Amino acid sequence: MLEELKKEVYEANMQLPKLRLVNFTWGNVSGIDRSKGCFVIKPSGVDYEQLQPSDLVVVNMNGDVIEGKLKPSSDTQTHLVIYKKFLKVCGIAHTHSPWAVSFSAAGKDIPVMNTTHADTFYGDIPVTRKLTKNEIENEYERNTGNVIIETFQDRNLSPDLMQGIVVRQHGPFTWGKSASDAVYNAKVLESVAEMDYHTLQLNPNSEKADKYLLDKHYLRKHGNKAYYGQK
């Protein structure tokens, strides 16, 4: 079932090593068919060089495996929480890309300091709080999803305007209108994290981009009045 979606999610997963967003098996991508109430996700611990479209696992919105001989990603419950709460999301990517993880480990938002960032993310990319001992020891992956949702609620953020987050001491999750869109956002997030790191090394007092510059660059690519690119 969902053979076309499996192919799409497989191709999105294969972009992670090509874009240098993962080492070994440190990442996963999923995509959802909301009309069917199921999503497709990478199997746990399978090397990208060995991964085949037929290896992908189909999971329903209760977290049950519907199709697949392999165990789904250990992050499946995190994806499930995001899909349930952010209803416009149709693809999710998770990596342990080093620049994003650096901000994650430091407990720092990735600040909007340039137009490269502003083209894709409408504001600072947030970092979550640390999970508690109880949250880690009981339903860790589900609670990882919960703390993502909590962060968006506490900060009054829109998952449409901010399509990514860094989980404290863990790593980034990004999403979008498809699996490939989620991977695109993962690469942008990693690139701007690297840029910000170098910027702050050169000048720790560097200023964030002004709101009017953020508005200009984000809105010229997104929204009703966007004019970037071809029709």
Number of H-type helices and E-type strands within the chain? 8, 7
Q: Please spell the DSSP secondary structure of 109-148, one letter per residue.
A: -B---SHHHHTT-SSPBPBPPPPPHHHHHSSHHHHHHHHH
Q: Are strands 171-176 and 164-167 parallel, antiparallel or unpaired?
A: antiparallel
Residue 196 annotated as catalytic: no
For residue 154, what is the enclosing H or E element? helix 140-154
Q: Which of 33, 109, 119, 160 is catalytic?
A: 119
CB of 126 within 8 A of CB of 151?
yes
Residue 228 annotated as catalytic: yes
Indicate if the alpha-carbon torsion angle 147, 172, 124, 122 is positive or negative. negative
Active site residues: 119, 228
